[in-house]
A and B are shown apart, each in its own frame.
Chain A
């Protein structure tokens, strides 16, 4: 039984990863598999929707850190959207708003991909 769920869907040629629950050292490997699969299939435009994400530790952050350079080298990006204040505070504490495009909603993140093209 896992207290974490990942879903994938497509929105305007962007892969949207929906996170739900608690992302820690126990559940991060599930997200890792999803990212690896996306990148293996050369999907480099990714939005991570954090609307239902209750918790993130450094193990979860590590998954984004592991793939961000690869994705950007391929002209893509990992954008993050819909974070609760609690989740945003963890990113903010580490200075990650400088590294990641963090938007208040998914549509804005998708729009940022579209306007780049």
Chain B
């Protein structure tokens, strides 16, 4: 299991650094440019949601972005201490309806689910919240 970690403050200014960190880790893992871009976008969306909804734009809160890899999978775990993002409350938009009546918002969660093999939300015993984004090597190409 290989691990690398990036700690950032809850500021959208840091998203660029997050994408760069994930892109390097994904390339090192062996993913191609397209897959590395997809994972970077999904992690950007997850961090944006945490900054926006869990921390409600309060600056200087903490996010930890950890990459865990083994031979089969590339997992990103984002830890925060803001409000729990309850996936049951975060509906995937009905895209048919969305395209008829465009509106802002809701697309980030949808994108994360389209771009990754799985997206999970967990609460740890110490009450910290985690978002897990996972991509398997078998689905890396295409």
B99 in complex: contacting residue of A62, A89, A90, A99, CB < 8 Å: A99
Chain B residues whose CB sits within 8 angstroms of the CB of A26 once the complex forms = 12-13, 15-16
Residue among B51, B104, B110 with max Cβ neighbours from chain A (10 Å): B104
Give complex CA distance A69, B99 in Å: 11
**Residues of A with C-beta under 8 A to B108:** 57-59
A61 with B48: in contact, given A24-B15, A26-B12 (CB under 8 Å)? no
Mostly, the B contact residues are: helix
B24 at the interface (CB under 8 A from A): no
Task: Bin the interface of chain A by size.
Answer: 20 to 34
| CA A65 to CA B51, docked complex, whole Å | 21
| 8 Å CB contact of A25 from B52, B95, B110, B111 | B52
Rounded to whole Å, the gap between the CB of B18 and the closest CB of chain A is 10
Seen from chain A, the residues whose Cβ lies within 8 Å of a Cβ on chain B are 3, 22, 24-26, 55, 57-59, 61-63, 65-66, 68-69, 86, 89-90, 93-96, 98-99
